[in-house]
Amino acid sequence: DTGVSQDPRHKITKRGQNVTFRCDPISEHNRLYWYRQTLGQGPEFLTYFQNEAQLEKSRLLSDRFSAERPKGSFSTLEIQRTEQGDSAMYLCASSLGTRTDTQYFGPGTRLTVL
């Protein structure tokens, strides 16, 4: 168990560019969540996967955002045509998926859109 990892840790991009983030969950965890956190706020839910199926997307996830989890392992979050308002910390968490379970978080990817 090496914990949840995310790559890259930091990304600076120009407005209008596309970016992709990767999350590697704990290997036996079948649930994977994406959250977004802006400065001074708690994280906000974006989407989650049960194995390879994306089961729910927040209304925060506009059509510029897409997430995948092929084969139920790692996940990617892509943002197309980035806007300055997309600047935030993007957090990934994984869990076994029961209501009593802890969610384990990765270190996050900090996105800055210039």
Q: Which stretch binds another protein (CB under 8 A): 18-26, 39-47, 61-69, 71-79?
A: 39-47
Cis peptide preceding 8, ω within 30 of 0: yes
- CB neighbour list of residue 81: distance below 8 Å, 6 or more residues apart: 16, 17, 18, 64
Would you count residue 51 as binding another protein (CB under 8 A)? no
Q: How far is the CB of 71 from another protein (least distance, A)?
A: 21
The token pair at 81 is 């045509």
The footprint of another protein (CB under 8 A) covers: 6, 31, 33, 35, 40-45, 48, 55-56, 89, 91, 93, 95, 97-108, 110
